[in-house]
Amino acid sequence: MLIMIKPNVDEAQVAAIKSCVEDLGLRAIESRIRRQLAIAAIGDQDVAPNGLIESLPGVEHVLPIHKPYKLASREFHPDNRVVSVRHIPIGGDAIQVIAGPCSVETPEQMIAAAAGAMAAGASLLRGGAFKPRTSPYSFQGMEENGLKYLVDAARPYGMPVVTELMDPRDIDLFLKYGVDVIQIGTRNMQNFRLLKEVGQLQVPVILKRGLSATIKEWLMAAEYIAAQGNLNIILAERGVRSFEPAYRNMLDVSAIPYLKRETHLPVIADPSHAGGAAWMVPALSLAAIAAGADGLMIECHPNPAQAWSDGEQALTPQELHALTRQVAAVAQASGRAYGQPLIDLPRAS
Which 283-322 positions form the footprint of a second copy (CB under 8 A)?
Answer: 283-284, 286-292
In the bound state with a second copy, the residue whose beta carbon lies nearer, of 132 and 178, is 132
Subset of 103-132 contacting a second copy (CB under 8 A): 132
Report helix, strand or coil for 2: strand
The answer to whether residue 337 forms part of the interface with a second copy (CB under 8 A) is no
The answer to whether residue 336 forms part of the interface with a second copy (CB under 8 A) is no
The sheet with strand 59-63 has its strands ordered as 27-33, 36-42, 2-5, 59-63
DSSP 44-100: STT-SPTTTGGGSTTEEEEE---SS-STTBTTT--SPP-EEETTEEESSSEEEEEEE
Subset of 138-177 contacting a second copy (CB under 8 A): 166-169
Which of these, 90, 140, 145, lies nearest to 269 by C-alpha position?
Answer: 90
Measure the CA dihedral 57/63/69/72, to 10°: -70
Taking residue 318's Cβ as centre, other Cβ atoms within 10 Å add up to 14
Question: Binding a second copy by CB under 8 A: which of 274, 278, 297, 307?
Answer: 274
In the bound state with a second copy, the residue whose beta carbon lies nearer, of 62 and 159, is 62
The answer to whether residue 202 forms part of the interface with a second copy (CB under 8 A) is no
Report helix, strand or coil for 335: coil
Which residues make Cβ contacts (< 8 Å) with residue 254, sequence separation at least 6? Answer: 291
Taking residue 108's Cβ as centre, other Cβ atoms within 10 Å add up to 11
Number of residues binding to a second copy, judged by CB under 8 A: 72
The answer to whether residue 44 forms part of the interface with a second copy (CB under 8 A) is yes
**Which of the ranges 53-61, 75-83, 174-182, 281-289 carries the binding residues for a second copy, by CB under 8 A?**
281-289
Question: Binding a second copy by CB under 8 A: which of 241, 337, 342, 345?
Answer: 241
- Of the CA atoms within 13 Å of residue 41, those in its CB half-sphere come to 28
In the bound state with a second copy, the residue whose beta carbon lies nearer, of 214 and 306, is 214
Measure the CA dihedral 4/9/11/14, to 10°: -30
Question: Binding a second copy by CB under 8 A: which of 106, 200, 214, 306?
Answer: 214
The answer to whether residue 342 forms part of the interface with a second copy (CB under 8 A) is no
**Which of the ranges 54-62, 108-116, 172-180, 182-190 carries the binding residues for a second copy, by CB under 8 A?**
182-190
**Which of the ranges 110-118, 272-280, 295-303, 309-317 carries the binding residues for a second copy, by CB under 8 A?**
272-280
**Alpha carbon 46 to chain centroid distance?**
32
Nearest distance from residue 6's CB to a second copy, in Å? 28
Question: Binding a second copy by CB under 8 A: which of 227, 234, 278, 315?
Answer: 227
The answer to whether residue 80 forms part of the interface with a second copy (CB under 8 A) is no
